[in-house]
Amino acid sequence: MKRLALLRTLLEREQKRRDEQMAAVRAAVANAETQQQQAEGLATYRTDYCRKWSAQFQQAATIEILRSYQGFLSRLDQAITQQQSVLEHAHRMVEAHRQRLVQREIRVATVERLIQLDAYTPSADPELDAAVKMSPKLTALLQQDMHERATMAESRHQLTKAISL
- Judged by DSSP in three states, 90 sits in helix
DSSP state of 119: T
Nearest to 98 by CA among 13, 10, 23, 12: 23
Rounded CA-CA distance 135/119 in Å is: 17
First vs last Cα of the chain: how many Å apart?
A: 31
Q: What is the DSSP string of 1-14?
A: -HHHHHHHHHHHHH
- Chain centre distance of CA 139: 28
pTM > 0.85: yes or no: no
Span 142-156, pLDDT tens digits:
777 767 888 888 888
17-40 average pLDDT score = 97
* Sign of torsion over alpha carbons 75, 76, 77, 81: positive
Span 123-137, pLDDT tens digits:
766 776 777 777 777
pLDDT for residue 48 is more than 60: yes
Span 91-117, pLDDT tens digits:
999 999 999 999 999 999 988 888 887
